[in-house]
Copies of this chain bind each other. A is one copy, B any other.
Amino acid sequence: MRQRFQLPEGVIYLDGNSLGAMPRAVPARMHRAIEQEWATGLIRSWNDADWYPAPQRVGARIARLVGAEDNEVIVADSTSVNLFKLLVAALRMRPGRSLMLGERGNFPTDAYVAQGVAEITGTQFRAVEPDEVLAALNEDVAVLALTHVNYKSGQAYDMAAVTRRAHEVGALVIWDLAHTAGAMPCALNDCEVDFAVGCGYKYLNGGPGAPSFAFVARRHQEGLRQPLTGWHGHARPFAFTHGYEPAPGIDRMLVGTAPQLGLIALEAALTAFDGVDLQALRAKSVALTGLFIALVDQELGAHGFGLATPRDPALRGSQVSLTHPEGYAIVQALIARGVIGDFRAPDILRFGFAALYLGHCDVWNAVAALKSVMAEGDWRKPEFMARKAVT
């Protein structure tokens, strides 16, 4: 499967959890989209190149990776915008309740969006510690919104158990699959999940700023009222009527004109999953993250690293996070040696293991490089300690 990706020489890429590597299928497809479909086909390509149904078609490809069916997943907008739509829609389905529940350590945009929803809807957003989530579920909670795999620690929730408990108190559940989709199997329908959002540019490898996806369980689609009522979510967008009337099914999650260039790149990228057994992908991922932890234990014991990710593979996604007070500079020094991970404030060194394009050898070499960085102390150089705009 590694041959399906174009990776630079001399780089071990452990940041596919932030921006996935480029699948080789992308450039030729984009060339065709730009030179033929846009430049030559022009406006006709909305019909002739099947641009118009792309959000649904790409959604169906993602549905297979997250345990959903066709017409339960659609690609649109950003993860933040999709979360806004679904939080409001969920609140509207629980009119007697006014509480959104989340987790304090969640990726910030999820908290920020919930704060924005609380303000505009006059409801409340409460964020608790991860181990307090189940106890905080009660009949005031309209919707529980969690990220399945934590962006910092790599820790994964038990999706089935948490969803079941939320449903027991009558709450709806939104899972953010940013660090799940494409990294590990996910069984949205088997877990009876209500809604989900996810990211196109991490383990799905759709390219920088790729559009996001949203899942709405079929049982909720006809009752869904999301607030961003744009023309592409209308029942008859080309009738150009004055009054909004939501499209049947998942299409009502659409807002404006779909970002075709991003959609086309994402669609081509998803062919990297063709024929991939997600259980085998998971087994490889667990082997890679397990080996990394074992080698860090064995090789780096003297250098003051902590482990932020659970040792039990059932409790983690496809990343391993270390802690170190000099984490920022260490990550920069490691990048200079060709091993690309990233840093998350205040002290997290993140290493993502995209099992489609990484092997055990990469893990050995990455740990060896980290050991050299620490032994030789090159992270102390000023150029590694100066912060960049994007960390």
Q: Report A's interface with B, CB cutoff 8 A.
A: 6-8, 11, 13, 15, 18-19, 21-22, 26-27, 30-31, 34-35, 37-40, 42-47, 51-53, 77-81, 84, 88, 104, 107-109, 111-113, 115-117, 119-121, 127, 152, 201, 207-212, 227-234, 237-244, 255-263, 265, 335, 340, 342, 344-345, 388-391
Asked if residues A27 and B21 are in contact (CB atoms below 8 Å), the reply is: no
Asked if residues B112 and A230 are in contact (CB atoms below 8 Å), the reply is: yes
Out of B37, B229, B342, which one reaches A113, CB within 8 Å? B229
Asked if residues B388 and A47 are in contact (CB atoms below 8 Å), the reply is: yes
For A342, what are the chain B residues with a Cβ–Cβ distance below 8 Å? Answer: 43
Given contacts A19-B46, A113-B230, 4 further A-B contacts (CB under 8 A): A15-B42, A81-B256, A112-B231, A209-B260
Out of B30, B116, B230, which one reaches A229, CB within 8 Å? B116
Asked if residues A43 and B27 are in contact (CB atoms below 8 Å), the reply is: no
Asked if residues A256 and B80 are in contact (CB atoms below 8 Å), the reply is: yes
Out of B18, B37, B42, B244, which one reaches A13, CB within 8 Å? B42
Asked if residues B345 and A259 are in contact (CB atoms below 8 Å), the reply is: no
Closest to A239 in B: B345
Asked if residues A116 and B390 are in contact (CB atoms below 8 Å), the reply is: no
A-B contact pairs, 19 of them (CB 8 A): A6-B35, A15-B42, A19-B42, A34-B207, A34-B265, A47-B390, A51-B390, A78-B255, A78-B256, A78-B257, A80-B228, A81-B228, A84-B228, A108-B242, A113-B230, A119-B227, A209-B263, A261-B262, A262-B262
For A231, what are the chain B residues with a Cβ–Cβ distance below 8 Å? Answer: 80, 107-109, 112
Complex CA gap A39/B11 in Å reads 11
For A119, what are the chain B residues with a Cβ–Cβ distance below 8 Å? Answer: 227
Asked if residues B34 and A30 are in contact (CB atoms below 8 Å), the reply is: yes
Asked if residues A241 and B108 are in contact (CB atoms below 8 Å), the reply is: yes
For A19, what are the chain B residues with a Cβ–Cβ distance below 8 Å? Answer: 38, 42-43, 46
Out of B31, B51, B229, which one reaches A115, CB within 8 Å? B229
- How far, in Å, is A234 (CB) from chain B's closest CB? 6
Asked if residues A238 and B391 are in contact (CB atoms below 8 Å), the reply is: yes
Asked if residues B344 and A207 are in contact (CB atoms below 8 Å), the reply is: no
For A43, what are the chain B residues with a Cβ–Cβ distance below 8 Å? Answer: 15, 18-19, 340, 342
Asked if residues A42 and B238 are in contact (CB atoms below 8 Å), the reply is: no
Closest to A35 in B: B27
Closest to A5 in B: B39
Asked if residues A208 and B112 are in contact (CB atoms below 8 Å), the reply is: no
For A244, what are the chain B residues with a Cβ–Cβ distance below 8 Å? Answer: 111-112, 115-116
For A209, what are the chain B residues with a Cβ–Cβ distance below 8 Å? Answer: 257-263
- How far, in Å, is A18 (CB) from chain B's closest CB? 5
Out of B80, B255, B265, which one reaches A230, CB within 8 Å? B80
Asked if residues B389 and A207 are in contact (CB atoms below 8 Å), the reply is: no
For A261, what are the chain B residues with a Cβ–Cβ distance below 8 Å? Answer: 30, 207-210, 261-262, 265
Task: Across the A-B interface, give the 9 residue pairs with the lowest CB-CB distance, nearest first.
Answer: A78-B256, A80-B230, A116-B229, A208-B260, A109-B231, A80-B256, A22-B39, A46-B390, A112-B244
Asked if residues B230 and A39 are in contact (CB atoms below 8 Å), the reply is: no
- How far, in Å, is A310 (CB) from chain B's closest CB? 20
Asked if residues A240 and B112 are in contact (CB atoms below 8 Å), the reply is: no
- How far, in Å, is A321 (CB) from chain B's closest CB? 13
Closest to A41 in B: B8
Closest to A201 in B: B257
**Residue of A37, A47, A228, A238 with highest tally of chain B CB at under 10 A:** A228
Asked if residues A108 and B240 are in contact (CB atoms below 8 Å), the reply is: yes
Closest to A388 in B: B47
